[in-house]
Amino acid sequence: MSVTEQPPPHPGPGPNPDDAAAADAAVAQLRDRISADSLTTRRDYLRIVATVSGGLAIGGVGVAAGILHRHGDSESLPEPKKVTDQLGPGQSVAFRFPGEDDRALAVRLADGSLVGYSAVCTHLACGVLWRKERGPDGELYCPCHEGVFDARTGEVTAGPPPRPLPRILLTEQADGSVWAVATARSGEQAKDALCRQFGDDHPLESASVGCPGAGRAGAPERRPT
Ligand code: FES
């Protein structure tokens, strides 16, 4: 799957079509401006828009106690991180994002969809694994208390986890490398997460994803003639 392609429709809970379309349009617009080398710079990073291949949600009971670090807390975009050089269908890879203490998981589903999640269970923070043999998409499984999450959406499907897994926004470059570029808060759509983190400081990027109010902040003042 390239950055300009969207995964096929999936029944049940899934991405907001508007959200995915906005991200897709932005990727198409910016694709030629992004190179692997440029990803390490802050400026070029802000030109990156993630491919969104599922709904977004994040949360954690442990976080409420102030004990656990929670994905998606940041008000600013993290630095992009290369997850892997290649990720084929039926493969997964563990990585850390956005910080070195933040366990995450990228999965290439059998149909080519690319999804990324926090690998920290929203129940009591055990590590989450992908069990590919469980159904067409496999499942995200927490062995501590038999928690199960939908691999395509991150939604809880069984066990005690109170909230879906936080989504990690991933993008795939032309060379096949997979990059993590952003996270989202609990229940937050990808577009909303990006718009929040772009804020008023990045009007071009905001406009590229269709953020509410985009274009006004950076537009020159019009004086009556
Ligand atoms: Fe994951 Fe309890 S810590 S189900």
CA of 110 to the centre of ligand 1 (A): 26
pTM given for the model: 0.67
CA of 51 to the centre of ligand 1 (A): 28
CB atoms under 10 Å from CB of 9, counted, come to: 8
What pLDDT score was predicted for residue 194? 83
What residue has token string 């470059």? 173
Same domain? For 59 and 100 the reply is: no
CA of 121 to the centre of ligand 1 (A): 6
Same domain? For 91 and 58 the reply is: no
Angstrom distance (rounded) from CA 215 to CA 202 = 10
What pLDDT score was predicted for residue 44? 42
* SS3 category, 94: strand
Q: Is 180 within the bounds of a domain?
A: yes
Q: Is 166 within the bounds of a domain?
A: yes
Ligand 1, residue 161: give the atom nearest the CA.
4
CA of 183 to the centre of ligand 1 (A): 21
Best substitution site from 103, 117, 142 to test ligand 1's pocket, by max atoms within 8 Å of Cβ? 142
- Contact status, residue 170 vs residue 50, Cβ threshold 8 Å: yes
**pLDDT, tens digit, 9 for 90 and up, residues 205-217:** 788 888 887 765 4
Ligand 1 is surrounded, with C-beta below 6 A, by 121, 123-124, 126, 142, 144-145, 147, 159-161
Mean pLDDT to the nearest integer, 53-76? 39
Residue 73 pLDDT class (50, 70, 90 cuts) = low
Nearest CA to 206 out of 5, 26, 16, 4 is that of 26
Best substitution site from 61, 124, 128, 156 to test ligand 1's pocket, by max atoms within 8 Å of Cβ? 124
**pLDDT, tens digit, 9 for 90 and up, residues 124-147:** 999 999 999 999 999 999 999 999
Domain containing residue 95: CATH number: 2.102.10.10
Ligand 1, residue 126: give the atom nearest the CA.
3
CA of 55 to the centre of ligand 1 (A): 21
According to DSSP, residue 214 is labeled T
**pLDDT, tens digit, 9 for 90 and up, residues 142-200:** 999 999 999 999 999 999 999 999 999 998 999 999 999 888 776 778 888 888 877 77
What pLDDT score was predicted for residue 3? 36
Residue at a domain's end among 11, 43, 68: 68
**pLDDT, tens digit, 9 for 90 and up, residues 4-55:** 333 333 333 344 445 455 445 444 444 433 333 333 344 444 444 433 333 3
What pLDDT score was predicted for residue 75? 66
Q: Is 14 within the bounds of a domain?
A: no
Same domain? For 156 and 101 the reply is: yes
Angstrom distance (rounded) from CA 109 to CA 153 = 12
What residue has token string 């990073």? 45
Q: Is 95 within the bounds of a domain?
A: yes
Same domain? For 99 and 198 the reply is: yes
Nearest CA to 26 out of 213, 214, 208 is that of 208
What pLDDT score was predicted for residue 122? 93
Say whether pLDDT at 116 is over 50.
Answer: yes
Q: Is 126 within the bounds of a domain?
A: yes
Residue nearest to atom 3 of ligand 1 (CA): 124
Same domain? For 59 and 144 the reply is: no
Q: Is 73 within the bounds of a domain?
A: no
Containing domain of residue 60, as a range?
A: 20-68
Same domain? For 88 and 188 the reply is: yes
CA of 127 to the centre of ligand 1 (A): 8
Same domain? For 35 and 97 the reply is: no
What pLDDT score was predicted for residue 62? 28
CA of 140 to the centre of ligand 1 (A): 12
Angstrom distance (rounded) from CA 42 to CA 80 = 9
Same domain? For 139 and 100 the reply is: yes
User: Cα dihedral sign for 140, 55, 155, 45?
Assistant: positive
Number of domains in the chain: 2
What pLDDT score was predicted for residue 216? 58
What pLDDT score was predicted for residue 209? 81
What pLDDT score was predicted for residue 156? 95
